[in-house]
Every structure is written in C-alpha cells, then in structure tokens.
C-alpha cells in the first residue's frame, strides 16, 4: 500500500549541499507496523516528510495505494517529535484534536465531536478535553498529539521519534498504547526512532538505515509473540538477539569493525 521507490533528497542553499537520502526503497503492506531505526542526522525526518507529502524528493517517488504522493493526503496522519510546538496553546485540548477534522469536508458536526471524544478516550484523556495543552505534562501532551492523529482516522500513521522527549515510564506506556491502537484499528504504522530497543519492542518489522548518505541497510521481521509486555518481552532471549542484530547492522553501516556484541550493546540503566 505504501511504496517508497528510489527516494533521494538533496538539500541545497547557502553554498551548502547535503545529500540527506541517497536511495531508499521499501514497501509497507496494509496494516503493517514497521519501525525505522537509524542514527541521528541520517535523514529519518526527511524521509517521513517526503512520505507525508510535506517535502518534495529530489528523485524517486512515494506511492500510496499506487498513486504518487505529491502533497498531504487525507489518508495519512503524522505525529512529530516536538509535541510542545505541534499543539496550539490558545486552544483547548478538544479543539486541538478536532482541528484537522475541519478539513475533512462534509463531516457532520456531531460525528466530528464523537471522533474527538473517542480519540481522547482511546489515549486515556477522556477528562482532559477542556484543559489547555500547557496545563498538561509532556507525556499527556504527546497523547493529545496522538489523539489528534487518531481522530483523523488515518489509514497510515507516520510517527517521528514521538517519545524521544518523555521520561522512561511514560514512554513505556505510550509504546504499549501505540501497539494497542495498531491492533484495534488495523492502521499501517511507520514509526521512526533512533532507539534500537524501542524499534524491536514496538515493531513487527525493523528497517535499519545507514548513516548519511542514507540507504536501507537491513530489513528484519520481528518474530516476537504478539502481545508484548515491557518486562517479559524485553527480558526474552530472542529480544536480545534481535536487538544485537540491529545494533550490529548500524555499527557496520558506520564502518565500525565487529566488536563482541555483549560489550558494545549499551545496557539501559
Ligand atoms: P534525522 O531525522 O535522522 O535526525 P534529518 O532528516 O533531520 O535527520 O536530517 C538529515 C540531514 O539533512 C542532516 O544532515 C541535516 O542537517 C540535513 N537537513 C535537514 N533538513 C534540512 C534543511 N531544511 N536544509 C538543509 N539541510 C537539512
Ligand atoms: Mg529527526
């Protein structure tokens, strides 16, 4: 359903030329939950912007259901990393969540209101509709941003390091929320992160990107059991193997000679 073909992006200007993406090709099947992991600066945000139709690629193309994406498409929603900047501070939570629905023509007011309430409920914020974003914690604000994307009823949800700025506890809860919503709604999810553990825990598949200029380095199915659990899944031997595999691919892509895996995998405190 989502095809990225030979995507290349070069930024030019002020005497600078950055080839952010060299040649990216991959496809997502409907209903897939795919994590894309790569080092900072490797072009993950650039890729998501191209997929969302917010940025024109230099070469190559993105197809959604066989049609080229040349601008923002109704079937896609994006959750960005900087939730603080993505919510409008002068609007109540409920109005922030409902804002994109104004652009879905012909949607009756009643239906719009119901979608907003359902989405807030889905992220555990049924009571927060009347609050302003700045009255909420960082984790809650990010849940508002997720609710806003959900209310839009997207076929494809694009998420750009959405939990990078929240504490570990909140982050674990939000990871489980994404998996739960994915299972319930059958959306296609492309989730970008620089965190290998997060990619393996969340994804049904992990695509590893090289450092810039960027290509897809590795494509690994995650064969961990469906219902995941922060304690048991992360403690499973298979989890450690998958994470070591992805880690090695990233190291290799950066030209680091193979080091014993048990020494190079950073342990989470
Ligand atoms: P990531 O999200 O993986 O950290 P980005 O997609 O943000 O990476 O950036 C990839 C590369 O492209 C970086 O070298 C960055 O400096 C460069 N870049 C990103 N946006 C722009 C821009 N608007 N103009 C020029 N260079 C940019
Ligand atoms: Mg980024």
Half-sphere exposure of 22 (CA within 13 A, CB side): 10
Say what angle helices 109-122 and 138-151 make with each other, to 10 degrees. Answer: 140
Assess whether 269 and 190 both reside in one domain: yes
pLDDT of residue 213: 77
pLDDT of residue 255: 66
CA–centroid distance, 43 to ligand 2, in Å, is 7
Which amino acid residue places its CA nearest to atom 6 of ligand 1? 43
The more confident residue out of 257 and 80 is 80
Among 110, 133, 153, the domain-final residue is 153
Whether a cis peptide bond, with omega within 30° of 0, leads into 213 is yes
Half-sphere exposure of 258 (CA within 13 A, CB side): 4
Assess whether 160 and 149 both reside in one domain: no
Which numbered ligand comes closest to the C-alpha of 44?
1
DSSP 196: H
The more confident residue out of 162 and 205 is 205
Supply 150's token pair.
């959900």
Which amino acid residue places its CA nearest to atom 20 of ligand 1? 46
- CATH code, domain carrying 214: 3.40.50.300
Give pTM, 2 decimals.
0.89
CA–centroid distance, 11 to ligand 1, in Å, is 8
Assess whether 160 and 266 both reside in one domain: yes
Task: Note whether residue 176 is domain-resident.
Answer: no
Assess whether 108 and 142 both reside in one domain: yes
Domain that holds residue 117: 85-153
Domain count within the chain: 2
Considering only 38-47, 75-84, 93-102, which range has the smallest mean pLDDT?
Answer: 75-84
């Amino acid at each position: 359903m989502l095809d990225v073909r030979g995507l290349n992006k070069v930024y030019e200007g002020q005497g600078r030329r950055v080839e952010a993406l060299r040649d990216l090709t991959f496809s997502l099947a409907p209903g897939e939950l795919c994590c894309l992991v790569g080092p900072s600066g490797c072009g993950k945000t650039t890729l998501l912007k191209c997929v969302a139709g917010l940025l024109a690629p230099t070469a190559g193309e993105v197809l959604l259901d066989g049609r080229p994406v040349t601008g923002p498409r109704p079937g896609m929603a994006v959750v960005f990393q900087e939730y603080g900047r993505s919510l409008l501070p002068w609007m109540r939570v409920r109005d922030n969540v409902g804002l994109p629905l104004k652009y879905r023509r012909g949607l009756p007011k009643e239906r719009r209101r119901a979608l907003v309430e359902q989405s807030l409920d889905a992220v555990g914020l049924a009571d927060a509709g009347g609050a302003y974003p700045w009255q909420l914690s960082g984790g809650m604000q990010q849940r508002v941003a997720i609710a806003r994307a959900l209310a839009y009823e997207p076929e494809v949800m694009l998420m750009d390091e959405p939990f990078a700025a929240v504490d570990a506890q909140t982050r674990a809860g939000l990871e489980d929320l994404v998996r739960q919503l994915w299972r319930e709604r059958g959306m296609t999810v492309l989730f970008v992160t620089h965190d290998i553990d997060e990619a393996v825990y969340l994804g049904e598949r992990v695509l590893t990107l090289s450092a810039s200029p960027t290509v897809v380095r590795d494509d690994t199915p995650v064969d961990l059991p469906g219902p995941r659990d922060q304690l048991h899944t992360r403690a499973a031997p298979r989890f450690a193997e998958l994470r070591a595999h992805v880690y090695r691919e990233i190291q290799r892509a950066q030209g680091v000679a193979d080091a014993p895996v048990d020494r190079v995998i950073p342990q989470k405190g």
